[in-house]
Structure 1
Amino acid sequence: MKFLHNILLFLFLASSSIMLGQTPGFNYQALILNTEEIQIPGTNVSENSIPLGLEDVTLRFTITNEAGIEYIEEHTITTDKNGMVSVIVGEGTPVNYTFSNINWDGKLKYLNVELNILNNNQGFVFLDSQKILYIPQPTNGNGNGTGTGNIKIVNSLGSLTQPYTLGELIWLTDFGTHRNPTLMIWDGTNWLPVNDDFDPANEFGLIVVNNDNTRDTQFKNPVIGDQVWNQTCGCIEVFDGLNWVSSKNTDALNGLYTDGNSIKLGGNLTEPTIITTSDTNTLTIDGLEESTNIDDKLVVIDKNTGVLKQKSISSFTQKKQVIVFAVDGQLEFTTPLAITSVDKIDVYRNGVRIDFTAVNNTTIKLEPEAQCYQDDKIRIVQLY
């Protein structure tokens, strides 16, 4: 069995924009998957996405603006059994500058993410870059929405009244096919999502739901490929056009079984299976126990189909014997078959095994001390 390891990382935030309030930081979640290309006798499994569970990693977050770096921090954390990590950016270990001194001036910033998987000694690997949009924390107030300051909270665009100001922002609690909360801006003609890449049906980010009911409420008209992280099953669910299919529904069949997040060799074959070898790619089984049971069976290969079969040892070993009544002084006797090896011949004189030598390929000669008397019974047993 051979395993070739690659690390595949799926990263996602709580929504398609990073939202900041009057808090010391903001949430960041990631699902880290370990993709293994597996070559196992009896099957053909490749590119299985398996969560990198219970692994120590360090996440490095760098916040930048158009002028350069504003802040860097690191979090060392252990993924949970499902490969999930969740941290608050702003509460990590500062590397450069301080989070509290970031100037949230409403201009576009970016969150750059790097990952270091501590046990593979590869150091930090760049993962992703996300836009950061500052959203003041809304409170009770007046205006078209329910908040004060620069951001107003509304449940629908129909509840708004004109006039609108170019560049005016609102927080819409129900937007798009999947009814996601999002930040909207007035462009002079229409209310548009601030994140121009807003597409809840086609994002690297995963929407987190508590259970099947909240998933179905969030996705009233799901399309093929929609994905969620279902906290009840602790798994990714993908809509296939008819049903939500869980990543945990994958069965290990045909000589395989699952043990937690691992796929292992063992179990019943459920279909005819071919393993092809070559002069270079040979098949070896080391450490087999030595057999001492004469009733054990041998493995043979059908000459026509190549199918492995079992065969008893006795079927391989056949014998032929001849009985001769000797004349006085006789030492040489003819064997029942042509001699291929003297180790396959036993000779008995009156029931006692005696030594001999081969004269030619059909004749044996008894040892001189075994010279026969008249009517001695000579039995020659030959294996073939």
Structure 2
Amino acid sequence: MYGAMKTNKTYIFTALTMLLVSFGFTQVKIGDNIDAIANTSLLELESTNKVLVLSRLTNDQMMSITPLPGGMAYNIDTGCIHSYDGNKWINLCDSSLRTFSFIDNEDGSFTINYGNESVFTSPNLTGPKGEKGDTGPEGPAGADGLSQQEQIIIVASNGQTRFNTPAPIVDDKKISVYRNGIRIAFRAIDSTTIELENEIICYQNDNIRIVQIL
């Protein structure tokens, strides 16, 4: 008889151990589709006509407890859900916690004012300003609506500095010369020829465009 009792105790201990191990790794699904639960879920609720009701506490009751960070409760006095952040209860209905203002300080920096009274001001994002560059060459006179213009595009050879204009030169201020899309300076040599300024040199296959207002 003693042996039978010992055997029964062993079975009971084994069953309890297996049950505890099972609970230690169990995922719980409550409500509809209890066989369908995400691998990362410890607890899932699913229902089309039932809800989860949090602990309903008065403000005094809520303030008298210190739960783990992340603890939640429904505050009957405020009518809102509160969450504990480890130091204080946060009212999740407080819209000021989710808003901020953005201010341009007009000095290259900006300031963000968060709803929780914290402030962030960026450094000057524009960086130091360099010295003003030289004034570029004067542009050609504008067309009066009656004037016409002609242009010619020349593929330059290496070291080439002289080019023929589309039409005879009457006023060199009505001529614009571009090398690879960038306007460059020149001088008139005769009535149909221009020469690039001394410091400007063309390389093989440079694109020279000469625009002339007639």
Could you state the TM-score of these two structures normalised by the residue count of structure 1? 0.18
Q: Which of 1 and 2 has higher RCO (CA within 8 Å, sep 6+)?
A: 2
Which one has a larger percent strand, Structure 1 or Structure 2? Answer: 1
Which one has a larger percent helix, Structure 1 or Structure 2? Answer: 2
Structure with greater Cα Rg: 2
